[in-house]
Structure 1
Amino acid sequence: MKFCLPIETDKGFDSPVSDHFGSAPMFMIVDAESRSFLVIPNADVDHAQGGCNPLRALNANVVDVVITGSLGGSALVKMNAVGIRVFRSEAETVIENLNLLADNHLHEFVLVEATPDQQGLCCSH
């Protein structure tokens, strides 16, 4: 299983998790089996308001789970449509959030909890 967390800076598993998926400068992709990780730039960071495309942002990297502080409704719908589950981050670092998820302590986003945005826009930043 592969996890994706939007991060502000690359400090390995101690990287701080970004508050918002669409505006994060980079993502950490963690392979749960090997506990290895890859850091990639957000390939869609300069998207127009409402134009967030999470699959483009991940630059063809396939993940099973996203852990983020917030995201827009359109991004959540797009991720769920391809089978990506999205959970709300509750801690500051990647490793803390992964441990919380392993212990079933993270809440899964549902559409009504996504960041409020006007006219169904993805990212309100």
Structure 2
Amino acid sequence: MKICFPVEEDGGLDSPIYGHFGSAPGFVTFDTDTQRTGFINNRNAVHEHGACNPAAALAGAGVDAVIVGGIGHGAMLRLMDGGVSVYQAKDGAVKMDAENFMQNRLTKLGGNENLCGGGTHSCGH
């Protein structure tokens, strides 16, 4: 399974998870079967709320799940509609939350949560 984390820069497993999924400069991917990491540049990152298009950056990457600190409702629904599961980060670091994911210790989001601008997380947008 390939999981994806929004990050500011590619630090592999040592990367901290970026606060807002859509405007993250890039995404670290982690394959739970091979234990290999990769990096996807988010050329579509913009810093205006509602103008982000992370789905375009992830298209064709074979991502099965994303682990986020914050995410807008629309982005969450687009990912879920595309068959990508969305999970709430627990520790805020790729290495720790990859382990949390593999040990089933993360909360899977259902689409009704508000993780951007209030609710359980404020991403600043």
The alignment's TM-score, normalised by the length of structure 2, stands at 0.85
Deviations 1:5-55 (A, max 9, x none): 011222221111111101111100111111111112112102753233232
Question: 2:65 is matched by which residue type in structure 1?
Answer: V
**How many aligned residue pairs are there?**
120
Match of 1:120? none
Match of 2:97? 97
1:115 Cα offset (Å): 2.8
1:87/1:27 CA distance change after superposition, 3 Å: same
| Distance in 2 separating the partners of 1:86 and 1:58 | 14
2:48 aligned with 1:63: no
1:99 Cα offset (Å): 0.7
| Distance in 2 separating the partners of 1:49 and 1:20 | 10
| Distance in 1 separating the partners of 2:115 and 2:5 | 17
Q: Structure 1: which 5+ residue stretches go unaligned?
A: 118-122
Question: 1:93 is matched by which residue type in structure 2?
Answer: A
Contact conserved, 1:43 with 1:59, CA < 8 A, in 2? no
Q: Structure 2: which 5+ residue stretches go unaligned?
A: 118-122
Contact conserved, 2:2 with 2:64, CA < 8 A, in 1? yes
| Distance in 2 separating the partners of 1:26 and 1:116 | 18
| Distance in 1 separating the partners of 2:109 and 2:56 | 20
Indicate the RMSD between aligned Cα atoms, in angstroms: 2.0
Question: 1:4 is matched by which residue type in structure 2?
Answer: C
Question: 2:24 is matched by which residue type in structure 1?
Answer: A
Contact conserved, 1:54 with 1:78, CA < 8 A, in 2? no
